[in-house]
Structure 1
Amino acid sequence: MQFEKIRGFAFDLDGVIADTARFHGQAWHQVADQVGTPWTAQLADRLKGVSRMDSLEMILKAGGHENDYSQQEKVQLATAKNDNYLRLVETLTPADILPGMKNFLDELREKDYLMVLASASKNAPKVLQYLQLSDYFVGIVDPVTLSHSKPDPEIYLRAAELLKLPPAEVAGVEDAQAGIKAINGAGELSIGIGTGLKGADICFASTADVSLDKLLELK
């Protein structure tokens, strides 16, 4: 795919715009300790970009506890995790925007690219508010309306609908393998951030390396 066709961007949030992933990690770590699942770096990595209830199921399964809790108890665990996460989110400020991303968003807005948020987080609107970035986005995909989590492409197809663009004119920006698969599955241009990602059309080592000029060089 060629960047010259792109008219809109769909952004993941955690690890792309801000490092709220560390807050998710802290809150999920507490849940893992509570249910008796050993917390590992591998488990933490697998939860990136995954919805709240699916993340809980992965934690329970990792410790062999998937049949130990009723659905009501699972909801309570997930709710407690979210409450802990929100307390951490309230400490965010614009200083927490990842290096280079505010400049990138400014460049895109200046050149009239449309932007939406495609995050599995139900708290994305609050995060954008604390980061003072809400005005940059024409919409936010509501994960409650989705039937499937990443790596299913549904969230990025919905992002294209919010942008009112065909998928071929949308670029998705992700830092997780599940997200890259979702973007590719939607038929959009995939921009990966980080090392070790497979299948991304374009990849940057870090957010600090991302710029519109570098993307335009790919015409």
Structure 2
Amino acid sequence: MVKFEQIKGFIFDLDGVIANTSLYHGQAWHQLADELGVTWTEDLANQLKGVARMDSLNLILKAGGKENDYTEAEKEKLAAKKNENYLGLLDSLSQDDILPGMKEFIEDLSAHHYLVSLASSSKNSPIVLKKLDLAKYFDGKVDPATLTHGKPDPEIYVRGAEVLNLKPEECIGLEDAIAGVKSINGAHETSLGIGDPKILNEADLNFNDTSEVTLENIKKAMD
């Protein structure tokens, strides 16, 4: 692992890392699964974490044995319907939805002149950051529409470093999902997993909760 002193930038996932929007995503997918007659399970919900929209839809269809029941055009309509459900749920989003300690951590990064970018699979991430009043702290954002591959492919985190003009080894990526941690590791960046260390056991650094994520704690963990 690189030394803390080498780090110049932080690359954030959004859902489940910065804010509780993962809850809204789950509710929106659950609504669609119910409409499609696919049984919603905790295992299925976990599989969708950090995964791009169309990939998530395909996982739901596969879980219900319906992967061959829809054309690509029909799948696009289903994904759009999920997004409408999600945007409706986002109407109530506010700064109260920022996860514990994350606003303070992001502000601290800015105060110490670290560069910050967003590597979210969600096309709605700019809307979310604006509602949370955090957009001003981000020096760059990866547009998921420009990506060829979704997480766990490393492309999004490679791009997350590029938009900051930093080398991969100069960056720490923050994730709460297995697919995201694999993406960070594949990009040869330092991975910081937030959540159960038994599940996120491939992460270079691990914190059980967002409230533990501070520059001081990261430095201690890396030294």
- TM-score, normalised to structure 2, is 0.96
Deviation at 1:3, TM superposition (A): 2.1
| Gapped regions of structure 2 (runs ≥ 5) | none
Number of the residue aligned with 1:18: 19
When the two chains are superposed, the root-mean-square deviation of aligned CA atoms in Å is 0.8
**2:52 is the counterpart of 1:51:** yes
1:163 aligned counterpart, secondary structure: coil
Structure 1 stretches of at least 4 aligned residues deviating more than 6 Å after TM superposition: none
Deviation at 1:106, TM superposition (A): 1.1
Deviation at 1:184, TM superposition (A): 0.5
Q: Residues 37-116 of structure 1 correspond to what in structure 2 (within 5 A)?
A: 37-116=38-117
Q: Which amino acid aligns with 1:32?
A: A
CA distance in 2, matches of 1:59, 1:40: 10
Number of the residue aligned with 2:209: 206
Q: Which amino acid aligns with 1:103?
A: E
**2:168 is the counterpart of 1:128:** no
Q: Which amino acid aligns with 2:214?
A: S
Number of the residue aligned with 1:197: 200
Aligned residues between the structures = 219
Instruction: Provide the identity percentage.
Output: 58
2:183 aligned counterpart, secondary structure: helix
Contact 1:90 1:130 in 2 (8 A): no
Q: Which amino acid aligns with 1:203?
A: N
Using the TM superposition, name which of 144-153 and 68-77 deviates more: 68-77
1:172 aligned counterpart, secondary structure: strand
Q: Which amino acid aligns with 1:214?
A: N
Q: Which amino acid aligns with 1:94?
A: Q
CA distance in 2, matches of 1:118, 1:203: 19
Number of the residue aligned with 1:216: 219
Contact 1:153 1:181 in 2 (8 A): yes
Deviation at 1:199, TM superposition (A): 1.1
CA distance in 1, matches of 2:218, 2:67: 44
1:128 aligned counterpart, secondary structure: helix
Q: Which amino acid aligns with 1:37?
A: V
CA distance in 1, matches of 2:153, 2:76: 23
2:117 aligned counterpart, secondary structure: strand
CA distance in 2, matches of 1:20, 1:163: 25
| Gapped regions of structure 1 (runs ≥ 5) | none
- TM-score, normalised to structure 1, is 0.98
Number of the residue aligned with 2:181: 180
1:65 aligned counterpart, secondary structure: coil
